[in-house]
Amino acid sequence: MIYQVKMSDEADEDLNEFNKSQKARIIKLINRFAQNPLPKNEGGHGNPLGNKQGRNLTGLCKITLKKMGVRVVYKLIRTETTMEIIVIAARADDEVYDIAAQRNI
C-alpha cells in the first residue's frame, strides 16, 4: 500500500534550503519509501528511531542519504495511511534528532 506523503510546514522549509538537484533526489527517495514506509521490523523500509541519547523519538523513522549527508525523519499516521515528514536536515552531530524531538511534541 502506498502512503500519502505529507510535509509539515517546517519540513517544507527545510527542503527549500536545498538546491534543485538535491531536492529532486530527496523527493525521489521519500516517494520510494512511501511505497512501504513501515519500520524494518514490520517488513518495511523505515529505520525506527526509538530513544536517541535521551530524546524520545519512538514512533519515528528515518531515511538516510549518506552521500548527501542528509537525514529525513518521518512518522506514520496509520489511520490515514499518511507518511508525515517531520524534518529534513544534515546528519551532522545528530542535530536532526533534536529538531525532530522538538517538532514531534
Cβ atoms of residues 73 and 84 within 8 Å: no
Domain range for residue 81?
Answer: 4-103
Whichever domain contains 72, its CATH number is 3.30.2310.20
CA 83 to CA 55: how far, in whole Å?
A: 21
Residue 30: the pLDDT is: 94
Cβ atoms of residues 101 and 55 within 8 Å: yes
pLDDT at 6 over 90: yes
Residue 65 in grid coordinates: 542519504
Sheet order of strands, 4-7 included? 4-7, 82-90, 70-77, 55-65, 47-52
Mean pLDDT across 82-87:
91
How confident is the model over 23-38, as pLDDT tens digits?
Answer: 999 999 999 999 999 9
Residue 34: the pLDDT is: 93
Counted domains in the chain = 1
Q: Where are the beta strands (DSSP E) in the chain?
A: 4-7, 47-52, 55-65, 70-77, 82-90
